[in-house]
Structure 1
Amino acid sequence: MTDTPAPPRPHVSILYCTRCNWLLRAAWMAQELLSTFGEDLGSVTLVPGSGGHFEISVDGDVVWERKRDGGFPGPRELKQRVRDVIAPERDMGHIDRKP
């Protein structure tokens, strides 16, 4: 009997502008995702950049882009967008309730 390898887990990358001092914001977003999704994620990577960029991707697909989406996501919105990509059937409990 052979063990079936587990499917690859999604990888999240957070590109942030170092010149804008957005490292703490990027790290906070990474912490929120790791706290919520734990072992469902393969990694969360912080990617230093410049030019006012703040972009969050799951396996290369952009789920949030600061200029396109009008600022920074709150934890609720970010978690919902990541969930919609990695596990759309997952119930997020209180996060999914209307404010």
Structure 2
Amino acid sequence: MTQPRVEITYCTLCQWLLRAGWMAQELLSTFGTELGSVTLVPETGGVFRITVDDDVVWDRAVHGGFPDAAELKRRVRDHIDPDRPLGHADRDR
């Protein structure tokens, strides 16, 4: 079985590289080797979208704004391993 691939597509004109990089770091710190890759994809047009294996888990245009770290981790976890506990990130609800 191949490991999940996360892509974070961000707008370069909006200067969202640091936000995308921080979110990638948060995911890698939490999930480590459970993820096959976390890729940053530069685009334009105000896009900020996070996918797991091509399934959208967050899209700024749809969900409005940006997820906080706990919400992003829950959404990725729900996609790759719904039974996995996230500790404090599960208590933020």
Q: Give the TM-score category using the shorter length.
A: over 0.9
Q: Which amino acid aligns with 2:26?
A: E
Q: How does 1:1-99 map to 2 (within 5 A)?
A: 7-98=1-92
Aligned to 1:20, the other structure's residue is in SS state: coil
Q: Give the number of equivalent residue pairs.
A: 93
Aligned to 1:30, the other structure's residue is in SS state: helix
Quote how far apart the aligned CAs of 1:98 are. Answer: 3.8
Partner residue, 1:3: none
Which runs of 5 or more residues in structure 1 are unaligned?
A: 1-6
TM-score after normalising by structure 2? 0.97
CA RMSD of aligned residues (A): 0.8
Partners of 1:48 and 1:32 in 2: how far apart?
19
Which runs of 5 or more residues in structure 2 are unaligned?
A: none
Larger Rg: 1
Quote how far apart the aligned CAs of 1:70 are. Answer: 1.1
TM-score after normalising by structure 1? 0.91
Partners of 1:33 and 1:97 in 2: how far apart?
18
